[in-house]
Structure 1
Amino acid sequence: MTTLHEGSSMHAGPTTTGDSVLVARGLSKRFGGFMAVNNVDLSIRRGSIHALIGPNGAGKTTCFNLLTKTLSPTSGTIDFDGHDITQMRAADVARMGLVRSFQISATFPHMTALENVRVALQSSYGSTYRFWNSLKRVEPLNERAMHLLERVGLANMAKVEAADLSYGKKRALEIATTLAMEPKVMLLDEPTAGMGHEDIEPITELIRETAKGRTVVIVEHNLSIVATLCDRITVLQHGEVLTEGTYAEVSSDERVISAYMGGVDED
C-alpha cells in the first residue's frame, strides 16, 4: 500500500465550478446524538475520478450513502447535473444517471453472468424483470449484454453462474451491471475490498477504462489505487472535510499524515 509522505502542509479546498456534476453543500447527518457527517461541502468535476478517503470512523461511508440517496441528510443540499436531488428517492436518482455499486457484490448468484447483465438492462430500459417472460422477449438485450461483458473481460464467462466466478470476476460483473444503467456518475464503494493482489490490478484498469466518458466517485482504503486512479481526493476526518486536492497535495499534508497515523474508531 502506498504510504503518506511527509512534506509541507498544502490545502486545496472544495472547488465548485460550472463543470461540476455532483455538488453537496452543508451536508450533515445526525444519528441521535452522534453527528456522523458535519457540514460537508463537496464538488465533483464532470469527467473526473474523485475519491473519498479518511481513517476509520471518518464518515466516508455515511457521506457516500448520502450522495447516493441511500440515506437522507439531516441538513444540507445535493445537486446532480443541475437538479436538486436532496429529497429524491435513490431509484429516481439512479434513473437520472447517478448509479452506485455496492461494497458487497450485488449479483444474482444462481444466474449466469449474461442473465445478470440482462436483468440490469431490463431495469435500465424500463422493462420489469419477470421470471416467466418468454426468452424471445429478452433476446434483443443479449447483444448489448454481451458487449458489456466484453468491456469488463467476462465475454468468455457469459454462461457461468455468478456464484462460480472468482471474487475479482464478481466485482467485474457488478461493474458491468452498473454500466448497464448507463450512468453519468458511477459511485463505487470499496471496489477492491477483500481482493487478493492478483485481482487488484485488473479491477483498477477496468475502473480506469470504464471511467472514460463518465464521472466516477469511489470510497477506497487502498491508497495505492487512489494514487494511481484519482484526479482529486477529499479527505474526511470526524465527519468533516479535512482537506481536498491531488494525491500529491493531500499525501504531503501533515494533518492527513497525523489522521492516518493516529487512527480512530471503525467507520
Structure 2
Amino acid sequence: MTQEFALETRGLTKEFRGFTAVDDVNLQVQEGHIHALIGPNGAGKTTVFNLLTKFLPPTRGEILYRGKAITGMKANEIARMGLVRSFQISAVFGHMTALENVRVALQRPMGTSFHFWKSERSLEPLNERAVALLDEVGLSDYADVLTVEMPYGRKRALEVATTLAMEPTLMLLDEPTQGMGAEDVDRIVELIRRVAKGRTVLMVEHNLSVVSRLCDRITVLARGSVLAEGDYESVSSDPRVKEAYMGSEVAEEEAGA
C-alpha cells in the first residue's frame, strides 16, 4: 500500500513554561508536493520546523515520515532516512571553495565529514559528484571560488547543493529567499522548482509571490495553530487569513499592480 503523505503531524504541540508556541498542529505533506508553511511573525513556523527536524522535543503529539513514527528519533537518524533541512542563515564554510563545501557534505553519509587530515587524493572520488551537484544548482563557474567571496544568492544556491548531497527525499527549506533582490529570488525559485522534481519540499517562506509561483499547497499558522489550508487561490481569498497575515501585503501588491 502506497503511503499518501511524505510527512504528517498529529496533535503536534510545544509548550514553553506555560506559553504554547505550537498548538495541536495536524500537518499533512503529500509526496511530490511543494508545501508552504506561512504566517505572521510569532506564528510558530520555525518552532514547527525545529520540532520536525528534532532540534526541539514536542510536548505532545506525533511526527510521521512516510508512515513511520519518528517522534523520538534524533536529527542525524532522520537525515539518514532522507529528511534534510537547510537553514534560514546560509550554513556553509566561508573559508572553503564551493566544490570543497559540497564535498564535505558528500562525506557525511560515509562518516568522514570532519576528517580534514585525510589527504586531498582520498577525496578525489567525490569530485565528480560534487561537480555534478554544482552544475545542478547553476554554480559550475563557482567551483573554485571561496564561499566568503560569493554573492549572497549564490551562497544560498550552494546551500541547496550541500543539502542535495545528503540525498534527501524530503527537503525542508527555511526562508530560502530571505534578504534577496528580485534577480536572486527568481533564480532561487527556478532552482527550487528544478530540484523538487522527484522530491517533496516543505518550506517556510514570507515572500507570497514565491509561494504563489511554487507551492501546490499552503498551511497558514497563526498563534501556533493551523488557521487555514489549501492552494494559493483558496488561502489568499480566506478572510481569516487576510486579517491575520496576508491582508496588508495583498493590499500593497494590488496597489502596486
The structure 2 residue matched to 1:132, chosen from 117, 140, 143, is 117
* TM-superposed deviation, 1:67: 1.2
The answer on 1:110 being equivalent to 2:95 is yes
The answer as to whether partners of 2:12 and 2:26 remain within 8 angstroms in 1 is yes
**Structure 2 residue aligned with 1:49:** 34
Structure 1 distance, partners of 2:216, 2:56, is: 26
**Structure 1 residue aligned with 2:165:** 180
- Larger fraction in helix: 2
The answer as to whether partners of 1:124 and 1:182 remain within 8 angstroms in 2 is no
* TM-superposed deviation, 1:27: 0.1
- Determine helix, strand or coil for the equivalent of 1:187: strand
Q: Which amino acid aligns with 1:28?
A: T
The answer on 1:192 being equivalent to 2:177 is yes
Q: Deviations over 1:37-96 (max 9, x none)?
A: 000000100000000001111111111111111111000000112211101111111111
The structure 1 residue matched to 2:216, chosen from 227, 231, 234, is 231
**Structure 2 residue aligned with 1:168:** 153
- Number of equivalent positions: 247
Q: How does 1:1-267 map to 2 (within 5 A)?
A: 18-260=3-245, 261=247
- Determine helix, strand or coil for the equivalent of 1:57: coil
Structure 2 distance, partners of 1:65, 1:129, is: 24
Structure 2 distance, partners of 1:125, 1:224, is: 39
Structure 2 distance, partners of 1:81, 1:240, is: 23
The answer as to whether partners of 1:52 and 1:218 remain within 8 angstroms in 2 is yes
- Determine helix, strand or coil for the equivalent of 2:89: coil
Structure 1 distance, partners of 2:143, 2:78, is: 29
The answer as to whether partners of 2:3 and 2:66 remain within 8 angstroms in 1 is no
Structure 2 distance, partners of 1:111, 1:128, is: 14
- Determine helix, strand or coil for the equivalent of 1:255: helix
Structure 1 distance, partners of 2:224, 2:128, is: 44
**Structure 2 residue aligned with 1:6:** none
| Structure 2 spans left out of the alignment, 5+ residues | 250-257
Q: Which amino acid aligns with 1:164?
A: E
Structure 1 distance, partners of 2:119, 2:66, is: 38
Identity of aligned residues (%): 63
The answer as to whether partners of 2:36 and 2:205 remain within 8 angstroms in 1 is yes
The answer as to whether partners of 1:124 and 1:180 remain within 8 angstroms in 2 is no
Structure 1 distance, partners of 2:99, 2:172, is: 22
Q: Which amino acid aligns with 1:99?
A: V
CA 1:132 to 1:87, structure 2 compared with 1: closer, same or farther past 3 Å?
same
Structure 1 distance, partners of 2:113, 2:133, is: 20
Q: Which amino acid aligns with 1:214?
A: R
Structure 1 distance, partners of 2:12, 2:122, is: 44
Instruction: Give the root-mean-square deviation of aligned CA atoms.
Output: 1.3
| Structure 1 spans left out of the alignment, 5+ residues | 1-16
Q: Which amino acid aligns with 1:175?
A: V
Runs of 4+ residues over 4 Å off in structure 1:
none
Higher relative contact order (CA 8 A, sep 6+): 1
